């Protein structure tokens, strides 16, 4: 192919998160002999902003909080100015493209629902692709769910992050997406293994359950802390190390103080390299009420750490229950029983560890890159 396919990715910011890691992985690994990639970053902020590949043309729209004044009043004015600019260009997408994206693109990509409106309002005659990672069955706001479904219908192609993410829309709303495919997120197991050795982590109270995720109500950490307290009260000594930041941090700290578990329920906040904390734990627990196809599960399995996880979203597409992991219902009683099993039945743990040695071969990254490339090339042909 002589003519490279011009692709535009748009994303808000680069805080540590699963979608951001997926974006970075695609930016790094899509073949450069086929694609000419541009990345439009609305806000230049977040822990991962410096990891964008240098050979990707990156267009920064507005500066991030990290680059604003330390003076609180000046910073306040800068944020007001930034918000006004964002509002103006959101209302005037043609001016945004004229002033900041002054070239043609063959394909424009919304890697998350937060970018659906931005891509659909593009004035370019491009093929438009949406990535969707969300389990809509756990969203009580039906107006929001229908809004996202109706937006998905307007895209030329939709990539679902798991089979369940697509199937649940069909089951609940009787809506199918013929112009779509299911493509799993790539999991960089060798890279995770290397990073996990970068420094030592010593936990005082063992055994240790690690966990990683944004501190959001759907992630189940308030319930996990209650389960932790119950197990301690029953004589099952252990600690839990939670890696991640978010809106529930202060309330979780308060709850830990009330339950007197501050020394055993460790809130480690966001970590640029979380993997040594996971490698040096004994088990991993994911208490989420909803997920799609979480990278973390595959990464932890790649480190050989036994996982007890709620049976939600695309997780059963990753874990073979009672073989290379342990699936439980998303309620406190079931998570409690799963964690108690890990603490009391060593033969189950040893069997999972043995199976993990070979089960991670199911995460075939090159197949994923080939599938994504195939979608892009087919859309380019349709554009012509």
Per-residue pLDDT tens digits for 91-112: 999 999 999 998 899 999 999 9
Residues 6+ apart with CB under 8 A from 241: 203, 208, 209, 210, 211, 266, 268, 277, 281
Q: Which residues pair with 19 in a beta bridge?
A: none
Other Cβ atoms within 10 Å of 187 Cβ, number = 27
User: What does the pLDDT read at residue 65?
Assistant: 93
Task: Give the Å distances, CA to CA, from 11 to 17, 23, 40, 109.
Answer: 12, 9, 6, 9
The encoded tokens of residue 384 equal 């012509």
Asked if residue 207 has a cis previous peptide bond (ω within 30° of 0), the answer is yes
What is the spatial distance between Cα 290 and Cα 273, in angstroms, rounded to a whole number? 24
Q: What is the pTM of this model?
A: 0.83
What is the spatial distance between Cα 294 and Cα 184, in angstroms, rounded to a whole number? 10
Proportion of the chain in helix, strand, coil states, percent, rounded to 5: 45, 20, 35
What is the spatial distance between Cα 209 and Cα 212, in angstroms, rounded to a whole number? 10
Three-class DSSP category at 115: helix
Q: Give the model confidence (pLDDT) of 182-237 as tens digits.
A: 999 899 899 999 999 999 999 999 999 999 998 988 899 999 999 999 999 999 99
Between β-strands 127-132 and 107-110, what pairing exists: parallel, antiparallel or unpaired?
Answer: parallel
The encoded tokens of residue 292 equal 């799609």
Q: Going edge to edge, which strands form the sheet with 5-11?
A: 57-63, 35-44, 5-11, 107-110, 127-132, 157-160, 180-182
User: What does the pLDDT read at residue 290?
Assistant: 86
Task: Give the Å distances, CA to CA, from 23 to 10, 18, 185, 296.
Answer: 10, 9, 10, 15
Q: Give the model confidence (pLDDT) of 299-354 as tens digits.
A: 999 999 999 999 998 999 999 999 999 999 999 999 999 999 999 999 999 999 99
User: What does the pLDDT read at residue 138?
Assistant: 83
Residue 362 has pLDDT above 90, yes or no: no
User: What does the pLDDT read at residue 118?
Assistant: 96
User: What does the pLDDT read at residue 131?
Assistant: 96
Q: Give the chain's count of helices (H) and strands (E).
A: 14, 13
């Amino acid at each position: 192919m002589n003519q490279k396919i011009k692709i535009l990715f748009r994303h808000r910011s680069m805080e540590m998160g699963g979608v951001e890691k997926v974006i970075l992985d695609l930016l790094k690994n899509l073949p450069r002999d086929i694609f000419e990639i541009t990345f439009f970053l609305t806000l230049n902020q977040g822990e991962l902003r410096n990891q964008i590949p240098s050979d990707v043309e990156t267009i920064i729209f507005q500066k991030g909080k990290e680059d604003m004044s330390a003076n609180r009043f000046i910073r306040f004015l800068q944020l007001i100015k930034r918000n006004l600019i964002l509002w103006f260009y959101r209302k005037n997408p043609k001016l945004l493209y004229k002033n900041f994206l002054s070239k043609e693109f063959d394909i424009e990509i919304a890697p998350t629902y937060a970018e659906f409106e931005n891509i659909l309002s593009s004035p370019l005659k491009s093929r438009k692709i949406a990535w969707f990672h969300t389990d809509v069955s756990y969203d009580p706001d039906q107006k929001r769910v229908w809004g996202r479904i109706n937006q998905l219908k307007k895209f030329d192609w939709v990539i679902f992050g798991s089979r369940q993410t697509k199937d649940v829309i069909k089951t609940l709303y009787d809506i199918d997406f013929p112009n779509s495919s299911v493509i799993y997120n790539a999991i960089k197991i060798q890279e995770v293994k290397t990073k996990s050795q970068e420094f030592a982590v010593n936990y005082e109270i063992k055994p240790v359950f690690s966990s990683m995720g944004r501190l959001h109500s759907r992630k189940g950490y308030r319930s996990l802390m209650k389960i932790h307290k119950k197990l301690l009260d029953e004589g099952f000594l252990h600690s839990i190390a939670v890696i991640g930041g978010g809106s529930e941090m202060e309330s979780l700290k308060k709850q830990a103080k009330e339950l007197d578990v501050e020394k055993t329920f460790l809130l480690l906040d966001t970590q640029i390299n979380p993997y040594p904390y996971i490698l040096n734990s004994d088990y991993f627990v994911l208490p989420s009420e909803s997920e799609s196809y979480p990278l973390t599960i595959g990464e932890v399995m790649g480190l050989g750490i036994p996982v007890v996880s709620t049976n939600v979203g695309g997780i059963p597409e990753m874990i073979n229950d009672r073989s290379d992991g342990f699936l439980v219902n998303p309620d406190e009683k079931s998570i409690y029983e799963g964690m108690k099993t890990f603490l009391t039945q060593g033969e189950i743990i040893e069997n999972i560890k043995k199976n993990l040695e070979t089960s991670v071969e199911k995460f075939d990254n090159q197949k994923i890159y080939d599938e994504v490339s195939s979608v892009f090339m087919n859309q380019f042909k349709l554009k012509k």
